[in-house]
Amino acid sequence: MKKSENERGDDVYATGNGAPLPDGASLRTTNIPGNVEQFIRKEQQWLRDLNKSGYLATDQHLQDLSKLADHFDYQLAAQNMDMGLQIGEARATGNSVPLENGTSLHTTGVLANIDRLIRKEQLWLRNLNATRYLDTDQHLQNLNKLADHFGYRLVAQSVGMVKQVGDGVALVSGLRGVMSNELVIFEDGTYGLAMDLDEHYVGCVLLGSDEGIQAGDAVYETGRVVDVPVGSALLGRVVNVLGQPIDDLGLLEADIRRPIEYPAPGFVQRSPVDRPLQTGIKAIDSIIPLGRGQRELIIGNRQTGKSAIAVDTVINQRGQGVPCVYVCVGQKMSTVVQIVETFREHHALDYTVVVVASAESSPSMSYLAPYAGCAMAEAFMYAGQDALIIYDDLTKHAIAYRQLSLLLERPAGREAYPGDIFYLHSRLLERSARLNPDHGGGSMTALPIVETQAGNIAAYIPTNLISITDGQIYLSARLFDEGIQPAIDTGLSVSRVGGEAQNDAMRAVSQNLALDVAQYLELQVFSRFGTELDPETQRQLTRGERVRAMLTQPQFEPLPVAHQVAIIYAAVQGYLDDVSTEQVPEFETHFVQYLRQHYAGLLAEFAAGHWHKELEDDLKHALQRFRARWSGKANRGEV
């Protein structure tokens, strides 16, 4: 892929200012306007007509001839010839002078020379059109002078040439001034992304089909990077990676665009993460709380409910003023349709943007998808809003980047991933933050999803993401098979924000919940040996079973935080100990209905995050009354 210095490949257009060539460089001239040669032919015909008559009858004729002579560095002089009249012969020896009224100028000495020079320029233009290269500064100066004569100006544009294309990647020579991640455009209108800036070539990934591209085609710089439309106009829409709608709902009316790559907020722009982002899932909001601006990894084997947690979290943002962006990377279109229909059914699509790079999309589209979605969510953050973005999933994103890197002949590292695979995800997830009030006070919460193989969380990509994020929600295939959904392993799951991202009510009722679950799991293993258990151990096992049953939750049914506070308090305080495990979901449903009917003010206090002794006493009183009603129904066989 070597090339000499004169393969610069800049394209000349007669639309702007001319520019001198650097030493040894050449300009490609694929778009010189045909008007230049047309004007030359017109001047030739005018000279022939003038030669037939031999006279310049008007001042305009003389001015035209003078202008044409000036173009070839000639000057006209008037000389008296006949009968004392002011009739002169044009010679290329002196300054041009205006004609007096009623005189004419004979033109026998200049026309032949000018006609010969015009023919020379015509031949030079034809040779230039055949070779399409200007090899010297003098050639460019001649062309610039010729264009100026006809009112044109030259602009140099960097142009490259395709040397090799295939598998969605093109290697291009030239393009000396191209930027990293700059958009380039091929002759057939296909866009590409300049990813690999080598000394002798540029590696471009194609953002479309490569069927219309072949070696030798021209490639043009655009001077801009990939950007996408942003703003509230995207809410409720399903778009591709470039922000183009694919939902048949018409064109987008977005006036603002944002580059997909953007620096992460600096330290002074950030604020501590201390405001909760409710997922509506009891096991997460109580044990692994999320804060606005946090990055929490959802990790587990395939088909364990990772996407279900993300979808429930989006559904729970209804009425919370949190715009959401759901990025599907490498998903089947049937799965994408199912997710979109779920959002529409639960009225969540109204505040959600779905960005799709499906399984049949090119690796370049899968590579760009998370950054495009991040730019859309980032716009809400910098506008002072709290945004939520889901990356589903980054495993397929890493695989797409690995494929592109191998096609670009980058060195392979661990598991054949390139050396910058960590930076691929760190620069993406670092853009999630909570901004301080001086910078708008907005936030962007990220929930990246990563898939493990056989529960191996020590694999390359999972460990990278665990080290980048602020915690992880680990889904266990064993728990999923046991019917515990969501199958969250509370022992391996953690949130590094912790109680700072909980309101006072949730923090008060769930402060010992993780410990109770851990003790139950340990005692459960011990009880399998068949030894006799003392009453205290038996009581802990019974309560642990009820707590575990309470944390089980159906899909697409997120709970408001006030309901969670009441139910979790009832479980950890032993109000469910005499309720069978199978009846816990029914007890929970009826208890929430009872609180709505008789203690709506108490729920409002919990929703506001308030917690003090009077509220706790009211909750105890409500539980005692409802428990008495529940026991009566149980005795009558109504439950």
Question: For residue range 579-599, what is the model confidence (pLDDT) as tens digits?
Answer: 999 999 999 999 999 999 999
- What SS3 state is found at 123? helix
Kindly report, residue by residue over 189-215, the tens digit of the pLDDT.
Answer: 999 999 999 888 999 999 988 888 999
What is the pLDDT, as a whole number, of residue 13? 42
Domain ranges of the chain: 36-119, 228-501, 509-635
Q: Cβ distance 210 to 170 under 8 Å?
A: yes
Tokens 């950054």 belong to 371
Helices of type H across 110-256: 111-131, 137-149
Which H or E run contains 423? Answer: helix 421-429
Which residue in 496, 507, 528, 627 is the catalytic one? 496
* Residue type for position 414: R
Cα 62 to its chain centre, rounded Å, is: 63
In this model, does residue 574 exceed pLDDT 50?
yes
What is the pLDDT, as a whole number, of residue 21? 43
Give the CA angle between residues 427, 428, 431 to the nearest 5°.
85
228-501 topology per CATH: Rossmann fold (3.40.50)
Q: Cβ distance 574 to 545 under 8 Å?
A: no
What is the pLDDT, as a whole number, of residue 199? 86
Cβ neighbours of 207 (radius 10 Å): 20
Distance, CA of 361 to CA of 336 (rounded, Å): 13
Distance, CA of 308 to CA of 505 (rounded, Å): 26
CA proximity to 161, closest of 135, 133, 122: 133
Q: Cβ distance 622 to 595 under 8 Å?
A: yes
Kindly report, residue by residue over 156-198, the tens digit of the pLDDT.
Answer: 777 899 999 988 899 999 888 899 889 999 999 999 999 999 8
Q: Write down the CATH number for the domain with range 509-635.
A: 1.20.150.20
Q: Do the domains spanning 228-501 and 509-635 agree at the CATH topology level? A: no
Report DSSP state, residue 471: E
Of the listed ranges 17-26, 231-240, 360-369, 526-535, the least confidently predicted one is 17-26
User: Who's near 41: CB < 8 A, 6+ residues apart?
Assistant: 122
In this model, does residue 53 exceed pLDDT 70?
no
Q: What mean pLDDT is predicted for residues 28-54?
A: 61
What is the pLDDT, as a whole number, of residue 8? 38
* Residue type for position 281: I
Q: Does 496 participate in catalysis according to the annotation?
A: yes
Helix axes 513-527, 561-572, angle to 10 degrees: 50
At 231, the pLDDT band (50, 70, 90 cuts) reads very high
Q: What mean pLDDT is predicted for residues 360-379?
A: 95
In this model, does residue 307 exceed pLDDT 90?
yes
Distance, CA of 119 to CA of 549 (rounded, Å): 95
Query: Mean of the per-residue pLDDT values for the chain?
Result: 83
CA proximity to 565, closest of 485, 629, 510: 510
Residue 487 tokens read as: 């199958």
Distance, CA of 422 to CA of 427 (rounded, Å): 9
CA proximity to 443, closest of 393, 367, 497, 394: 497
Q: Cβ distance 22 to 41 under 8 Å?
A: no
| pTM of the full structure | 0.79
